Structure 1
Amino acid sequence: MIRVLLDTCVLFKPLLCDTLLCIAEEEVYQPLWSVDILEELERNLIRHNITEQAAQRRIGRMRQHFPDALVEDYQDLIPAMRNDPGDRHVLAAAVAGNAELVVTENLRHFPEEAANPYGLEIVSQDKFLLDQVDLVPRAVHEALTRQVSRYRREPRTLEDLVIALGTPGNGCPQFAKRCHADSC
């Protein structure tokens, strides 16, 4: 199973995070994150008016459902990373976690010359989700269907979920377009 490090920026958005993790529940890929990523996520959630308890609950559920996602022993690698200084911890965690991909919105923070020596591919959430539809369409459909079945508020239908994921706030316009065309 492919190992994929999820950057804070894609975990921050609740709908996108749910989508990524629902697909991971289908055992399509192994999600990875680090303590630094989870701490950054908590800080950002609180900064955006999520209570500390709610932020901790969300992160606690992530850790509970994906106990093997936490990458450890990456801190010594941080100084050797040659990407954006603010995201060196992300690249170091990907290397230590034997990830094949990093999913992020901040593509410019991970230039090829920084990622290539470690055999890492850096992709946007839109590209990652498009690849999953191409590789395992049935698993993606099952994941999205299960995702909307868990919601008590909008989006309550698969179509509404796909539309929401295609908005600029979630950053998956090509994935949404493909799902509409293919009836994800």
Structure 2
Amino acid sequence: MPESLLRAVLDTNVLVSALLAQRAARTSPPLECLRLATRGAFRLVSSPQIIAELARALAYPKLRIPPDAAYAFTGLVVSLTEPDGLVRIRGRLTALRRDPADNAVLETALTGRAAYLVTGNLRHFEELGAADPDRRLRGLRIVGPREFVQNLGG
């Protein structure tokens, strides 16, 4: 993939929603985000923390995802981030107090020089809005899956 390709982080909730839509054979903005990554429309950026959170989420019994499907999906996400999209973060960012786990997602986006952080939980990032009314932080745009797909022309 070209180095100039737009970089984006897909929050765990977007990834889980994509897999659930795929397994139900229905379309959805999260699934379209994943398809765009698969087609090389953008460079997927992730971190070991996001991958670990994804693996934990896919193991939730209420989701009824077979272990082999969860393993394969996690492998797909990792493969879409390689070779340069998997970034190491320090876990020191504390900008988000409402849901501290989202700090790892935000830190991944900032460290990975992502243009977009795509999340189904925009409200978790609202506290950044007081200082950043456009939901931008160091050039990072925080958007929902539908807006991201529209911005990429999908």
- TM-score tier, shorter chain, comes to 0.7 to 0.9
Residue in 2 aligned with 1:97? Answer: 112
Residue in 1 aligned with 2:77? Answer: 62
In the alignment, structure 1 residue 5 sits paired with structure 2 residue 9: yes
What CA distance in whole angstroms lies between the structure 2 residues aligned with 1:28 and 1:130? 12
Q: By how many angstroms is 1:76 displaced?
A: 4.2
Q: By how many angstroms is 1:3 displaced?
A: 0.8
Compute the TM-score of the two structures, normalised by the length of structure 1: 0.63
Task: Give the secondary structure class of the aligned counterpart of 2:45.
Answer: strand
Residue in 2 aligned with 1:42? Answer: 55
Higher relative contact order, chain-length normalized (CA < 8 Å, sep 6+): 2
Within 5 Å, which residues of 2 pair with 1:1-184? 1-13=5-17, 14=19, 15=22, 16=28, 18-47=31-60, 48-68=63-83, 69-72=85-88, 74-79=89-94, 81-82=95-96, 84-111=99-126, 112=129, 113=131, 116-133=136-153, 140=154
The 3 A distance-change label for structure 1 pair 76 and 40 is closer
* Equivalent pair of 1:4/1:32 in contact (CA under 8 Å): yes
Unaligned ranges ≥5, structure 1: 134-139, 141-184
* Equivalent pair of 2:11/2:105 in contact (CA under 8 Å): yes
Compute the TM-score of the two structures, normalised by the length of structure 2: 0.73
Q: By how many angstroms is 1:7 displaced?
A: 0.2
The 3 A distance-change label for structure 1 pair 124 and 75 is same
What CA distance in whole angstroms lies between the structure 1 residues aligned with 2:143 and 2:114? 12
Runs (4+) off by over 6 Å: none
Count of matched residue positions in the alignment of Structure 1 and Structure 2: 132
Q: By how many angstroms is 1:19 displaced?
A: 2.5
What CA distance in whole angstroms lies between the structure 1 residues aligned with 2:92 and 2:115? 17
Unaligned ranges ≥5, structure 2: 23-27
Task: Decide which structure has the larger Cα Rg and report it.
Answer: 1
The 3 A distance-change label for structure 1 pair 99 and 46 is same
Larger helix fraction of residues: 1
